[in-house]
Structure 1
């Protein structure tokens, strides 16, 4: 059953699909996918080509736009858009500490979650595409991890695509997670240095907060244990266009004098728990490193292991001297599952995923080298989340893929640069520029 309704300038239709949990067993257990169709009100009766949007993450449902916000307005000029909640996210049989115990114990949960990667997402798309398009290929727009999925789409089912548009999401085809994080920590350090150049007053503020966390046991109102490492992970903000400013405003009133001495302000704690909690997207933490698994090597908490190769990120050592405290970037650690009450019951499940060694390949280099699907990618220079060198090496490996390399935007360029970013990419893929 589909339900249609309206927002300013658009008509929305809710869709629900049943797909196999394991595409290798199409007659076996099923899960539900949810997607929201969007079309411009004045084009609702027209036969338009389809664009399926794959959200970044992993573990996030599709954007909940109001009307023609961000890039959507530009897309609706040409397409009927499908905003897909990828399996396990949003309304698509969500995976969380509340639902995963239905699978059984940690081993069963880990086996279950191994089916929530890009290869399964692409096969989901291929099952629902004919039901919507009548069999015609569609355009995929992949943001960040959605771009990873788009490259998997070009590898597994290019016949389903008329066009591939990727923003901030060209993955390495063969890098292990260790390679990803060895490239990531130096980028994070550069972003932090740039932040302190912009806001030099934050050097002392960050050191004071870190010192407080090293000497106090702080538990936020939602039960999140705020350690100094968790505080450093706020550096993930620095990968967005306004992230440096948001971090600055977060730090400027963090400490307040009380009858018991200096404490973290209620306002700071409230904002930090909203930023750090995985309650709304637990799948992100569970499978984040698994998206890089493709061989018989475990990811084995790669971000945590590789971090030891960069001692400048050790807060205790930093505070023993006079160097600025370094924030980190997009990383998930074992302690993440100890700090966050939304993740604590899933710690053993996460350990089993980190130890897994039977990840199937996500990309087909030979097929990509023979690619015939028009494809284009925005590569954000010195992107905090996706390594530029990895992206450009992949771009050279995909036949016919055109790149737009820019430092005008951070990782969220599709959102903050809309509709200009999407307009340029569509013009490029159509050979109009």
Structure 2
């Protein structure tokens, strides 16, 4: 492709890294290097994408942060286990594992600890030397897991918007999240005050008459509120505003609006995220997630659309959450029973080692976005103090997607910080 050479890599790894003779799955990764430098001995940079369950970039050239990374590195874009071209988890593949309990048992092997053990096998096969890692969002959480349990494999680490609370329970995560989402709603309505009436009108209609969506599910008022998941990105308020702009066809919601809503809400390309999001925060002593976002929502009645419509309050959108109603979508409906089993489980192993992090010797630089809707900045700053030697950049210049939308500036700042130039 223009300016870059891409190479496909496939690796066989154990499903359960503690049972190396058991079942194996396939992991895919795409190597990206500047054209003309294929034979140079460039250091490797492993990119860990956010999510969980999202795909790394599918490059078409030296675009976004890759342009900066390719100045210094040979980049490896990892399709984390269960996603993309790695052995996938979907509504077609998971039921083949048997009953919901068997499916849930299978899914226990798809968290950050397993992803890092995959990375270590891949590192030893590709280079045999410590490599650099760049972790965005959930990928940053995976990087902290890497620093906790396999730091000898790391030359250096860069984290953007992904420093987790080390001992924070799922309940604490969502108890902190709802107020952040409320603040994003406030900013959205300040930017587009005319949308307050438009949202109330749509919400009132959906309470009376949930609308059939093209995928076969129903657009309820709660599902409509879930469109707020975009409000934590740079242009999220604008995206939501334009989505609402031509919502009506007479007294009915327009087909175009419903089609765009379907695309915005669909988990067809993110089935693993619906299962793994709450498990990101489950560790020893945190208890079972038990649909934490749904349970905690009752503590924040301002998110009750019916209550808002009964008064003069704005109807608030919700954020990045896993509600039981999410599994009404046909693309993930077959996964719901496995989710019920998973979310009721409380015996999860630790994902982080605070003592190891306090003795860290790997150079680390991290960006904490102070207005981040998806990752609590307070918990991130506490973790930054825990990781020995971490060089911190705390900023409100960017939203959570700063790495992707800054044309390499965020990565450049962090690399210069890492190397003592800032």
Give the TM-score normalised by the residue count of structure 1: 0.96
1:269 corresponds to: 258
Is the CA contact (8 Å cut-off) linking 2:210 and 2:221 kept in structure 1?
no
Stretches of structure 1 lacking an aligned partner (at least 5 in a row):
1-6
CA distance in 1, matches of 2:267, 2:218: 13
1:304 corresponds to: 294
1:99 corresponds to: 93
- Aligned ranges for residues 102-117 of structure 1 at < 5 Å? 102-117=96-111
- Aligned ranges for residues 301-340 of structure 1 at < 5 Å? 301-338=291-328, 340=329
- Aligned ranges for residues 31-430 of structure 1 at < 5 Å? 31-133=25-127, 135-257=128-250, 262-296=251-285, 297-338=287-328, 340-430=329-419
Stretches of structure 2 lacking an aligned partner (at least 5 in a row):
none
TM-superposed CA distance for 1:268, in Å, is 0.7
Q: String of CA shifts for 1:313-371, please: whole Å, max 9, x gaps.
A: 00111111111110111101111112x11111111111001101111000000000000
Give the TM-score normalised by the residue count of structure 2: 0.99
TM-superposed CA distance for 1:219, in Å, is 1.5
Is the CA contact (8 Å cut-off) linking 1:224 and 1:277 kept in structure 2?
no
Is the CA contact (8 Å cut-off) linking 2:95 and 2:334 kept in structure 1?
no
Is the CA contact (8 Å cut-off) linking 1:53 and 1:81 kept in structure 2?
yes
Is the CA contact (8 Å cut-off) linking 2:384 and 2:392 kept in structure 1?
yes
TM-superposed CA distance for 1:217, in Å, is 2.6
Q: String of CA shifts for 1:15-53, please: whole Å, max 9, x gaps.
A: 000000000101110000000000000211111000000
Greater shift, 116-125 or 208-217, is seen at 208-217
SS of the equivalent of 2:13 reads strand
TM-superposed CA distance for 1:256, in Å, is 2.0
TM-superposed CA distance for 1:295, in Å, is 2.0
Is the CA contact (8 Å cut-off) linking 2:13 and 2:121 kept in structure 1?
yes
Aligned length: 421
CA distance in 1, matches of 2:236, 2:277: 21
Is the CA contact (8 Å cut-off) linking 1:147 and 1:168 kept in structure 2?
yes
CA distance in 2, matches of 1:341, 1:148: 30
TM-superposed CA distance for 1:225, in Å, is 1.7
CA distance in 2, matches of 1:379, 1:249: 29
CA RMSD of aligned residues (A): 0.7
List 4+ stretches of structure 1 deviating above 2 A: none
